[in-house]
Amino acid sequence: MFGALQENPGKTFTLSLVTNNGRNSQEVMVASTTPGKADTTDRNLGLSWPDDIYSLAHVALPFPPDDPLYGGQGGAKSPGIHLGDLALRGERGVLLIPASEMLRLRWNPFYSYLEGKVLEFFKLEAE
């Protein structure tokens, strides 16, 4: 899918893909192609996958690790429930919540990169 997007000679957008630096690496980089060019520019992000996370969920994209509601461990204190690092324990069959919901990541370990790109797009500076 990404190959077709990268190779499209008529694309009018920059395509950036955050991916591992290598097959056995937990460090990530961004691979970008710009309009009118077929070659890819790679840039190390200086970020790594946390040890206990193997992929992102669509829910995770807009939330930083320290979000009070959806963030991970060590985030800001939540005014109520903390959904980002939810670990339910108890008897099977009591809750009607599918196991797949419990595994979904709710915060983005690469949020700092995403935030920078959004601010760059709107020509704003990070606080």
Using the Cα atoms of residue 3, residue 121, residue 49 and residue 90 in order, give the sign of their dihedral: negative
Domain boundaries, the chain: 1-48, 50-127
Question: Could you list the pLDDT tens digit for every one of the 127 residues in the chain?
Answer: 566 666 677 778 888 889 999 999 999 999 998 887 778 899 999 999 998 888 887 877 888 888 888 787 776 677 777 677 666 666 777 666 666 666 678 889 999 999 998 898 888 765 5
- What residues are paired with 20 via a beta bridge? 28
